[in-house]
Amino acid sequence: MSRSAAYLIGFGMGGVALWLVLSCWSGERGTYA
């Protein structure tokens, strides 16, 4: 795995985790349904 690929995957996973935390914190969990 190249370094750029590792960064891209890490950024994607971090973005999804952050989005889940924000969506749960704001109480808008039904926006992606």
Contact of 29 with 23, CB cutoff 8 Å: yes
Q: Check residue 13 and give its pLDDT.
A: 95
Q: Check residue 17 and give its pLDDT.
A: 93
Q: Check residue 22 and give its pLDDT.
A: 84
With H, G, I as helix, E, B as strand and everything else as coil, classify residue 7.
helix
> In the structure, what pLDDT confidence band is assigned to residue 33 with cuts at 50, 70 and 90?
very low
Query: Would you say how long the chain is, in residues?
Result: 33
Q: Check residue 30 and give its pLDDT.
A: 55
Q: Check residue 31 and give its pLDDT.
A: 57
What is the C-alpha separation between 33 and 7, in angstroms, rounded? 28
Contact of 31 with 23, CB cutoff 8 Å: yes
What is the C-alpha separation between 20 and 29, in angstroms, rounded? 8
Residue range 7-31, pLDDT digits in tens: 999 999 999 999 888 887 776 655 5
Domain count along the chain: 1
Question: What is the domain extent for residue 4?
Answer: 1-32
